[in-house]
Amino acid sequence: MGNFQKHFELAKEKYEATITAYHKKQSRHEYSNENFPGEINKAMRKVWFAYGDLGYDGINGKRAKTVIDNLKIIIEFFEKRFEMNIYEENT
């Protein structure tokens, strides 16, 4: 069966990594809620939540279009905030 202590230590390490990742995600959402207008916060959440779908199988065209549309909203917000062009569309 193997070494119980070794497996126990690995399980604890994975648990701690999961908790750390969860808290970082919560912090990101709390920061966004507190520092950005509702429309921008909503757009950022749509991009964050779509990441798994697009990163792993990348075949959901409708989801990809939603992400692109929301990224445009986010970019326009920051361009206005910082008075600079972040992205220029190729014409």
pLDDT confidence of residue 61: 72
pLDDT confidence of residue 91: 39
Instruction: For residue range 5-58, list pLDDT tens digits in order.
Output: 777 777 777 767 766 666 666 777 888 888 889 998 888 888 877 766 665 555
More confident residue, 64 or 1: 64
Mean pLDDT of 55-83: 80
pTM: 0.53
Q: Is 76 exposed, middle or buried (0-12, 13-18, 19+ CB in 10 A)?
A: middle
Distance CA 2, CA 17 (A): 23
pLDDT confidence of residue 1: 52
